[in-house]
């Protein structure tokens, strides 16, 4: 019988539905943290690559790429909602 509470929240559409609600409420903080994490992972990939461990470097590079893509998507959503 709490149908009235759902009407108070703005509706999210598209890719914004994939973002958890707590993260959607703090999009600017979330995309900055993801960007920083992606940058750290990219640096770790470069460090591991210097030891010629190509497999592990590819794993860290893939994780960094995923973080940077999600940071970019969250930045676009944050910019469009502002």
Note the pLDDT tens digit of each residue in 20-75: 888 888 989 999 999 999 999 999 999 999 999 999 999 999 999 999 999 999 99
Give the HSE-up count for residue 67: Cα atoms under 13 Å, Cβ half-sphere. Answer: 18
Q: How many helices (H) and strands (E) does the chain have?
A: 4, 0
Interacting residues of 56 by C-beta distance below 8 A, sequence separation 6+? 48
Domain spans of the chain, in order of start: 31-82
Please report the DSSP string for 46-82 in residue order: HHHHHTT-HHHHHHHHHHHHHHHHHHHHHHHHHHHH-
Note the pLDDT tens digit of each residue in 36-51: 999 999 999 999 999 9
Decide: pTM greater than 0.85: no
pLDDT band with cut points at 50, 70 and 90 for residue 19: confident
């Amino acid at each position: 019988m709490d149908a009235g509470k759902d009407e108070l929240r703005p509706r999210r559409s598209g890719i914004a539905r994939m973002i958890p609600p707590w993260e959607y409420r703090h999009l600017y903080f979330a995309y900055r943290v993801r960007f920083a994490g992606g940058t750290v992972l990219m640096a770790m990939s470069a460090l591991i690559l210097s030891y010629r461990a190509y497999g592990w470097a590819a794993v860290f590079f893939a994780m960094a790429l995923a973080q940077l893509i999600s940071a970019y998507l969250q930045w676009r959503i944050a910019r469009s909602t502002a």
